[in-house]
Amino acid sequence: MENNQILDALIHRYPELDSLKAEINRASDALIACYENENKILVCGNGGSCSDSDHIVGELMKGFENMRPVGERMKNELEEIAGDRGMYLAGKLQQALPAISLTAHSALITAVVNDTDASLIFAQQVVGYGNAGDVIIGISSSGNSQNVIDALITAKAKKMNVIGLTGETGGKMKVFCDILINVPGRRTAFVQELHLPVYHTLCMMVENHFFGNQMF
């Protein structure tokens, strides 16, 4: 399947996203370029968007809709190191598209809240994890979440590429986004309902580029 078919299928299911087709395609291209250059993706958000951040990482770090065998070199290394167990690992492990959810590190997050400023919980991690050429996906239904905005500002300072998932206004964070996917709607629940098919489609497009034609 071609990536344009995956994107067309999204618009068929959610015609209200048609005006964002070009931006979604740009986001897909940015994520693919990130991985082709051996970089990684960081993701952050609050509340339901926190869960979305973890969800995105889950789709990228293992097989989503395609098989991702580890490859002969890794297979041979595992078998040489651990014999039968290595063979088992080679048969079960999958190639990953490196991604980190900045919402998942409770000890670090609470340390930042306690020691510095709660709005810096994601920005501090961008300082540690982020490198030029990486991508950060900031998710905020309002576009006004200060901790997400601070992460995007820090990411731009580190020469990362910034993708924003927001509601229709884009909020305050839109000025810090290289690519803005501002889905129609202002009510949090309705915005989040449209974020999910958008990021599922992005994950499908990226996976299809690297692991296409190997469907489960």
Residue 174: predicted pLDDT:
98
Residues 6+ apart with CB under 8 A from 122: 44, 102, 103, 147, 148, 150, 151
* Mean pLDDT for the chain overall: 97
Q: Which phi and psi angles does 45 have, rounded to 5°?
A: 180, 170
Q: Quickly tell me which residue has 């919402």 as its tokens.
A: 103
Identify the CATH number of the domain defined by range 3-61+96-210: 3.40.50.10490
What is the C-alpha to C-alpha distance for residues 77 and 75, in angstroms, rounded to an integer? 6
Structure tokens at 81: 């190191």
Whether the per-residue pLDDT at 40 is higher than 90: the answer is yes
Is 42:97 a contact under the CB 8 Å cutoff?
A: no
Residue 96: predicted pLDDT:
98
Residue 187: predicted pLDDT:
96
Whether the per-residue pLDDT at 100 is higher than 70: the answer is yes
pLDDT class of 159 with cuts at 50, 70, 90: very high
Residue 1: predicted pLDDT:
77
Task: Choose between 192 and 213: higher pLDDT.
Answer: 192
Whether the per-residue pLDDT at 188 is higher than 80: the answer is yes
Other beta carbons within 10 Å of 83 = 10
Q: Stretch 162-179: mean pLDDT, rounded? A: 98
Whether the per-residue pLDDT at 51 is higher than 50: the answer is yes
Q: Quickly tell me which residue has 């250059």 as its tokens.
A: 37
Alpha-carbon distances, residue 80 vs 88, 105, 106, 179 (angstroms): 12, 34, 37, 45
Domains of the chain, residue spans: 3-61+96-210, 68-95
- Short-list 61, 80, 64, CA closest to 72: 80
Whether the per-residue pLDDT at 216 is higher than 50: the answer is no
Q: What is the dihedral of CA 63, 151, 180, 31, to 10 degrees?
A: -30
